[in-house]
Chains A and B, each alone.
Chain A
Amino acid sequence: MHESREHLQTLTEIRSLMERSAKFLSLSGLSGVSAGVIALAGAAVVYGRLQTDWFRLLNYNRLEPYDNSVHADITQFLVTVALVVLGAALLTGLYFTIRKARRQGHTVWNASSKRLLWAMTVPLATGGVFCLALLSYNLIWLAFPATLIFYGMALLNGSKYTLRDVESLAYCEIGLGLVSLFWPGYNLLAWTIGFGILHIVYGLAMYYKYERNTAHEGPAGSV
């Protein structure tokens, strides 16, 4: 009987090693929540500055009456806000992920996190260049759904190397991006849902699923 328990433990250990070595599992749910909150703040800033009707902001037709200098102004403002939101979300996300990795007794910069980063960088960089091209043609209303779609693709590609649940978030982002392509009037709303609300919902779900029980324990010894 004793021997069987030993074999079972061996199998459990093998399984954990296979998961741990192939996937980056230190991604924290709180990273998603913080990214979502920052995105909501960014959306509020955009709304406050443009002072337009919440749901129909950035409608292509509404921007038409303005001349090119206003277009350039709005574009610059939106890109600045988007970049600040991206930077702040990455920084806080990194903070929570490093904290989780420390608690688990794992490192952050290892083979699996590098693989995850690379898997996400390629679609994200492609999307970034694509959006720059759209901006240069004054197609900013198209850039909003495009960021959602490319971000969803990046998550889908990255989900192979981290928690499987990221895949569902990816499908939501892609779906939302595609839908908002056909409702260009609701761009800011779609963007707020995609980067704000979805992140918060996903982050909380992950936090309660994987982290709540371990959050207050000290650093767990590595198996």
Chain B
Amino acid sequence: MKDLLAQFNKAFESKARLNIMSVLMVNDTQSFNALKELLGLTDGNLATHLRALEESGYILVQKQFIGRKPNTIYSATASGRQAFSDHLNALEEFIKNL
């Protein structure tokens, strides 16, 4: 049991981060506003989680402008995808072994 839990990724301890990664796994890019709407998080809360994921190197942040409005889009990096599937596999193993 202890071995399996070791596979759980610390970066995904928060459910919000796991949810952000799930959205970015199936969408090439996603904007801040779309993420906010999908996950039902507040601006500050979402920004904090996104920064944490960026610092782990799991997501890529690109800032651009649409007209004068800033638009930030996010995408999953290769290591982020790897970490996410590892985490899911660990979850699956954990449930199977109960």
Which residues of chain A have C-beta atoms less than 8 A from B34's C-beta?
A: 21, 110-111
Of the listed residues B26, B39, B92, B98, the one surrounded by the most CB atoms of chain A closer than 10 A to its CB is B26
A16's closest neighbor in chain B, by CB? Answer: B22
Tell me the bound Cα distance from A13 to B20 in angstroms: 11
Cβ of B22 and Cβ of A18 under 8 Å apart? yes
Q: Which of A4, A17, A107 contacts B19 (CB 8 A)?
A: A17
Task: Report 20 cross-chain contacts, Cβ distance below 8 Å, ordered by A residue.
Answer: A7-B95, A8-B95, A11-B88, A11-B91, A11-B92, A14-B19, A14-B88, A17-B23, A17-B39, A18-B22, A18-B23, A20-B38, A21-B22, A21-B27, A21-B38, A107-B37, A111-B27, A111-B30, A111-B31, A111-B34
Tell me the bound Cα distance from A17 to B20 in angstroms: 9
Determine whether B60 belongs to the interface, using a CB cutoff of 8 Å to chain A: no
Minimum C-beta distance from B82 to chain A (A): 16
Determine whether B18 belongs to the interface, using a CB cutoff of 8 Å to chain A: yes
Cβ of B27 and Cβ of A10 under 8 Å apart? no
Interface size class of B (residues with CB under 8 A): 20 to 34
Within 8 A of A (CB), among B61-98: 88, 91-92, 94-95, 98
Determine whether A22 belongs to the interface, using a CB cutoff of 8 Å to chain B: yes
Cβ of B26 and Cβ of A18 under 8 Å apart? yes
Give a binary string over A80-116; 1 marks a CB under 8 Å from any B CB, 0 the rest. 0000000000000000000000000001001100000
Determine whether B25 belongs to the interface, using a CB cutoff of 8 Å to chain A: yes
Cβ of B95 and Cβ of A21 under 8 Å apart? no
